[in-house]
């Protein structure tokens, strides 16, 4: 017999959908959540969108599928958060939670008595990941980033967890999957703790393009179909993405004016110039070169870069 689906006081009876806000523990901050408690037994999928508030296509896609799905067609449960980082969404703040300036994707498992970001992380771990059979944490290039669609999996998780993630990855319309060595990210902590989780990337540069939203929705419905939570008659093509086990994440050695010489998805060669930083007078400060043959996963498209800020991320291809 199916049970009531409850997240932090928000409840969905069997064969119902409930949309509303949950409080961030003892604060006055709220997060929009959709709970879909299916008519039949099945698996549970958690979808979190907008951990970074300026990554728009994932948020729009999550809002739309949350509205579209009929609980009568669902076997199992679906938990959708859209967006996670509400304050950053409205303030158009990249990378961090504005209230405490912390990157939510690097502070898991969070703290019950911590800052706002730490409390959000705590809720996701204890109220959501703990109830899920699989977690899709959907992202995109931030306001200043362009990227090619790809995903990340936790390289430090158990092999059975990694294999489960790769099974699901096969139904996604992405060419690359990247091994992550992170342990404190949304997806990495979830996977290491026993809930198969992946970070999916699509879109960027502060744009919310229709084609990106449609592609994201296709991915989400494909995962629901793969997990037999929402079965459709559509045939899903399964193809394991290229597995990138080594990546380089370039950060600015100095502040200045950045010019990227590569594009997202571009294949690059060892020794190729990736970009350069100059001062306000056009004098060269730093030039950056590829350390190996690979593919550009994402890069900064903004002119201004602070010291230690991201410039280019590229994965190694054999």
pLDDT digits (tens, 9 = 90+) for 284-297: 999 999 999 999 99
* Burial class for 208, CB neighbours closer than 10 Å (0-12, 13-18, 19+): middle
Using CA atoms, how far residue 262 sits from 125, 147, 202, 290, in Å, is 37, 11, 18, 11
d(CA 282, CA 284): 6
- Which pLDDT tens digit goes with each residue over 208-227? 999 999 999 999 999 999 99
At 59, list the tokens.
Answer: 């948020």
**pLDDT value of position 1:** 66
d(CA 226, CA 172): 10
Q: Can the peptide bond before residue 109 be classed as cis, meaning omega within 30 degrees of 0?
A: yes
Count how many residues are written for the chain: 318
Q: Which residue has the tokens 């999550």?
A: 62
What is the pLDDT of the chain when averaged over all its residues? 97
**pLDDT value of position 172:** 97
């Amino acid at each position: 017999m199916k049970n009531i689906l409850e997240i932090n006081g928000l409840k969905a009876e069997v064969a119902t959908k409930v949309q509303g806000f949950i409080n961030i523990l003892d604060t006055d901050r709220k997060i929009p959540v959709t709970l879909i408690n299916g008519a039949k037994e099945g698996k549970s999928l958690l979808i979190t969108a907008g951990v970074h508030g300026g990554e728009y296509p994932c948020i729009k896609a999550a809002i739309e599928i949350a509205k579209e799905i009929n609980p009568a067609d669902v076997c199992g449960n679906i938990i959708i958060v859209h967006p996670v980082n509400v304050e950053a969404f409205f303030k158009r703040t990249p990378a961090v939670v504005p209230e405490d300036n912390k990157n939510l994707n690097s502070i898991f498992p969070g703290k019950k008595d911590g800052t706002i970001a730490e409390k959000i992380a705590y809720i996701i771990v204890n109220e959501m990941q703990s109830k899920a059979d699989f977690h899709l944490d959907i992202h995109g290039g931030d306001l200043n980033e362009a990227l090619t669609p790809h995903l990340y999996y936790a390289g430090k998780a158990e092999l059975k967890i990694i294999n489960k993630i790769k099974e699901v990855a096969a139904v996604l319309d992405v060419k690359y999957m990247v091994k992550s060595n992170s342990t404190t990210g949304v997806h990495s902590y979830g996977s290491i703790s026993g809930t198969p989780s992946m970070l999916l990337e699509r879109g960027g540069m502060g744009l919310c393009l229709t084609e990106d939203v449609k592609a994201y929705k296709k991915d989400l419905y494909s995962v629901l179909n793969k997990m037999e939570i929402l079965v459709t008659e559509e045939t899903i093509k399964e193809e394991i993405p290229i597995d990138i086990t080594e990546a380089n994440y370039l950060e600015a050695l100095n502040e200045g004016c950045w010019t990227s010489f590569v594009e997202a998805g571009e294949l690059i060669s060892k020794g190729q110039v990736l970009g350069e930083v100059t001062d306000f007078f056009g004098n060269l400060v730093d030039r950056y070169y590829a350390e190996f043959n690979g593919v550009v996963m994402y890069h900064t498209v903004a002119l201004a870069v602070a010291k230690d800020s991201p410039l280019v991320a590229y994965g190694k291809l054999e």
